[in-house]
Amino acid sequence: MTAARRGAVPALLLALAVSACSRPSPATGRPVFQPQSAAFELPFGGEASEDFRLPVAAGTSLTVAGAVDPDLRVEALPPAPGTGPGLRIHASGRRVGVRVGTLYAVAHPGPGQPIPLLYALRVRGTLTVVPTNPLVDLRAEDPAAVLTVRDTLPGFAVTAAEITAGPFAARVSRDPTGAYQVRVTAVIQKFRPGDRGASGTLLIRSTDSVEPRKEIPLFAFGRVP
């Protein structure tokens, strides 16, 4: 039973989840959850749930071992007709971002070995910044990257764009569509001769109620003359 259908989490996370929980070891015969991994994508404040079952012969009950992400609530399910015990995972979109981890369950009666279930939880906010990992080419005549900042909330405004780390400078403007543009430039005078790149952080301050402070990693590449 699925209370709310899962969205599409980025392909890399899904591939990671599937590969890490792919199949039981032939040597141990450890049972595998079906589905084999949990991937939730939610808007901020959203909720979703899904059930994960073990084979009929896995045992009669489950307990969860170890810590559980605070935005996941895990409920043990008894065996049902044609299937073994399981877990019902309730996901809450209380923090914007992407997290991955592993839940471990132990079947009773059973060998006592933890059974892994990898999860990925992505919570979307109302603020979008593109690109999320801007690159500045130091070999360019004008080494800079331009980020577009938008929000679904009415009356949205970017109030400041600050460089909190790294040899960069930032300037904010607004384009004809109403979106904000943050132009990040490399300050060549702050590099040492022969440097092959640098990293830094851009802080975007805005009226977004979910992420009023948004940090963006910055990277510059290319040999400095």
Mean pLDDT of 77-88: 94
Residue type, 173: S
Structure token digits, residue 113:
């070995």
Residue type, 45: G
Give the least confident one: 1-10, 112-121, 147-156, 205-214: 1-10
pLDDT at 194: 84
pLDDT at 57: 86
Instruction: Convert the pLDDT of each residue in 97-121 to its tens digit.
Output: 999 999 999 999 877 789 999 999 9
Task: Round the average pLDDT of the chain to a whole number and report it.
Answer: 87
145 pLDDT band (50/70/90 cuts)? very high
138 closest CA partner among 81, 70, 200: 200
- Let me know: does 22 contact 14? Beta carbons within 8 Å: no
Domain residue extents for the chain: 11-124, 127-221
Structure token digits, residue 15:
């591939």
pLDDT at 113: 87
In the chain, what is the straight-line distance between the N-terminal and C-terminal CA atoms, in Å? Answer: 62
pTM value is 0.69
Residue 148 has pLDDT above 60, yes or no: yes
Instruction: Classify 127-221 by CATH class.
Output: mainly beta
CA 63 to CA 79: how far, in whole Å? 13
Instruction: Convert the pLDDT of each residue in 158-211 to its tens digit.
Output: 999 999 999 999 999 999 988 999 999 999 999 988 889 999 999 999 999 999
What CATH number was assigned to the domain covering residues 11-124? 2.60.40.10
Which has more confidence, 225 or 62?
62
- SS3 per residue for the chain: CCCECCCCCCHHHHHHHHHHCCCCCCCCCCCCCECCEEEEEEECCCEEEEEEECCHHHCCEEEEECCCCCCEEEEEECCECCECCEEEEEEECCCCEEEEEEEEEEEECCCCCCEEEEEEEEEECCEEEECCCCEEECCCCCCEEEEEEEECCCCCCEEEEEEEECCEEEEEEECCCCCEEEEEEECHHHCCCCCCEEEEEEEEEECCCCCCEEEEEEEEECCCC
Query: CB neighbours of 81 closer than 8 A, spacing ≥ 6?
Result: none
pLDDT at 111: 75
127-221 and 11-124 share a CATH fold: yes
Q: What are the beta bridge partners of residue 170? A: 184
